[in-house]
Structure 1
Amino acid sequence: MPATTEWAESLRRWAIPEEFTRRTAETPWVLPRQMFARRADALIAEPSGATFTEARAALTEPGTVLDVGVAAGATSLPLAGRAPVEHVTGVDTDAELLSAFERRAAALGVPCRVVRGTWPRVAGQAEVADVVVCGNVVYNVADVEPFVRALAAHARRRVVVELAAAHPLTELNELWWRFHRLRRPDGPTAEDFLRVLEQLGIRAEVTRWRRPARAEYATAGELVDVTRRRLCLPPERAGDVEAALAGLGVDPAMPPDLGSSGRDLVTVSWAGSSRDR
């Protein structure tokens, strides 16, 4: 089976059976905007990680940045002040997160533009940039080939992609079994993404690293609420979720986001293919 087909099939297995989704009026596909904002603020204040290092290395000369799946700017805005960034374009589907990105870019004095929509559907609305970054998005992309090719086609110098070593929702698998006796998938993984790139003829450089632990929610209660909704549990089960998280060893003083990226990460980068020089 081609790597792109296997990737798509692995992602389709994450669909939640209707017998669970119909038990609650809340969507399990939670978008924890507060976590994205906290992560962006932490990394803007103190950049770290291989993704930042790789993107900065491609900006030794002044240049522009395109951030696909920008959220609040955690992948692109840490470059401001540490590299000669002339302009950042952020692409995302969420209007509130795009506004959060714009506010942070303005505070840093970085010219920016936003494009709202799904990549690569809106790729034609985004300018070619010197460096294209994409942080923790690809596990949401079943049709991965056009997504990746559009990233490369929009980069003059470099594409830098960050993803978790394993599908981030696997962190909740033990809880799905505990509460629902439902076995969840364990793929795809970063290794599967690398096989996709190989199939597409992309020669990439790979760095495996670990994100330092930090509080990603203001309170443990926020983590409990997001986790409960992801598990299709009603509000009255919050106490049970809190106890289960404690059983997993989650520190309430450092509440992580289980299901957005994880701490074991992989940064993949390759040369851009844009002919717009």
Structure 2
Amino acid sequence: MAGAGGARRFGGEPGRSPAVTGSARGGGRTVREGGGEREPAPGGSPAAESAVSRHDRMVRAEMMQAERVRSTAGVPADFWETLARQFRAPTDPVADPTPDALAALIGPDDRAIDVGAGGGRIAIPLSRHCREIVAVEPSPAMRAVLEEEISRHGVGNIRIVAARWEEAVVAPAPLAFAAHVTYGIQAIEPFVRKLDRAATRHAALVVMTDPPQTPLAPLWRFVHGEDRLRLPCRDEVVAVLRELGAEPVVTPLGPAPILPFGARAEAIDLLRFRLVVGPGTPGDVRLHRALDLFAEERDGNLWPKDARPNARSLVRWAPIHRR
């Protein structure tokens, strides 16, 4: 479920799955380790924890927190069913520089693999720059939107693979990438290693500096009385790649736009889902109060107050398996 940009209601970017300091070659820049305060490893010091272990622990901890505070019936069979239509291909192609940044890595006769293609926000604009896009997408709701978007845009070179990446069978391609997917990956090493093996020229991840749900942080804190645990983002992913032997190049893509929650009624439905709050519960009462405190109405929509733009980056590397 890829990409950021285009006019849509706020839903957050999708999420599924050694020292980092170093100069990023080929138009990248230097990045630093960590994304906020380092959490201690269970039973040991922070320095004893590997980058892979830290990434996976952060994902598990965030998911466990959501389950602990949940007052809804549970996670739907297809998590993305509620959000899928927010991930259509953008009507304004300049809103997201990601497709152009990826297009620079391939030629018109090349194939590319889009892991977690979602509704086609990356695949559809990128398809104009290559021979074929293989769109791997496990969510039925997302695939339905992708099929609609393929038809709407008249695209004929996107092939959909209905599978989780870990089980997908695809032939290698010059470019294999996943955009805004790794945040929720519970086992990052096999995910990255398979992405690496699928790439003959470039492997890439598109990630944010801070968790996609950061604009929800004040609401979460007010509703649940505790801070939302942080998902792994750019710095954690770069640390994982270096630990696995890659030499990642980090290219800034600019900030993602601040997005509205939607009109009040749909904003409440969306935020109940995102904050795991059931209708009529004490948390729901606090959610309504939180909207009065932390959201403002503009043009018929509720927008997060004082939200700061979240920087996006393209993290690419030459496939480790081809050395």
Q: TM-score if structure 1 supplies the norm length? A: 0.81
Q: Which amino acid aligns with 1:16?
A: Q
Tell me the number of residue pairs that the alignment of Structure 1 and Structure 2 aligns: 264
Q: Secondary structure at the match of 1:235?
A: coil
Sequence identity of aligned pairs in percent? 22
Is 1:95 the equivalent of 2:95? no
- Are 2:209 and 1:131 aligned? no
User: Does 2:311 match 1:267?
Assistant: no
The unaligned stretches of length 5 or more in structure 2 are: 1-48
User: Which amino acid is 1:100 matched to?
Assistant: V
1:118 matches 2:164: yes
The answer as to whether partners of 1:69 and 1:91 remain within 8 angstroms in 2 is yes
Q: 1:114, 1:245 → 2: CA distance?
A: 39
Which residue does the alignment assign to 1:68? 115
1:156 aligns with 2:200: yes
Which 5+ residue runs of structure 1 have no aligned equivalent? none
SS at match of 1:65: strand
Measure how far apart 1:236 and its partner are. 3.3
Aligned partners of 2:244 and 2:88: how far apart in 1?
A: 31
Mark the CA change 1:112 to 1:246 in structure 2 (over 3 Å): closer, same or farther: same
Q: 2:216 maps to which residue?
A: 172
Match of 1:241 in 2: 287
Cα distance, 1:5 vs structure 2: 0.6
Q: 1:256 to 1:75 in 2, by over 3 A?
A: farther
Q: Distance in 2 between matches of 1:91 and 1:256?
A: 32
| Alpha-carbon offset, residue 94 of structure 1 | 0.7
RMSD of the alignment, in Å? 2.9
Separation in 2 of the partners of 1:47 and 1:100? 21
Q: What are the within-5 Å matches in structure 2 for residues 216-227 of structure 1?
A: 219-227=263-271
Name the counterpart of 1:11: 59
Letter in 2 for 1:115: V
- Post-superposition offset of 1:19: 5.0
Distance 1:270 1:17, change over 3 A: closer
Change in Cα spacing, 1:132 to 1:31, as seen in structure 2 (3 Å) is same
5 Å-filtered alignment, 1:200-219, equals 200-208=244-252, 209-215=254-260, 219=263
- Measure how far apart 1:239 and its partner are: 6.7
Instruction: Pick the structure with more helix per residue.
Output: 1
Task: Kindly indicate whether the alpha-carbon contact (under 8 Å) linking 1:88 and 1:113 is maintained by their aligned counterparts in 2.
Answer: yes
User: What is the one-letter code of the residue matched to 2:54?
Assistant: E
Which structure 2 residues correspond to residues 183-198 of structure 1 after superposition, within 5 A?
Answer: 183-198=227-242
State the 1:245 CA deviation.
3.2
TM-score, normalization by structure 2: 0.71
Partner of 1:182: 226
Larger deviation, residues 26-35 vs 242-251: 26-35
Contact 1:52 1:79 in 2 (8 A): yes
| Correspondence 1:232 to 2:276 | yes
**Amino acid in the other structure paired with 1:147:** F
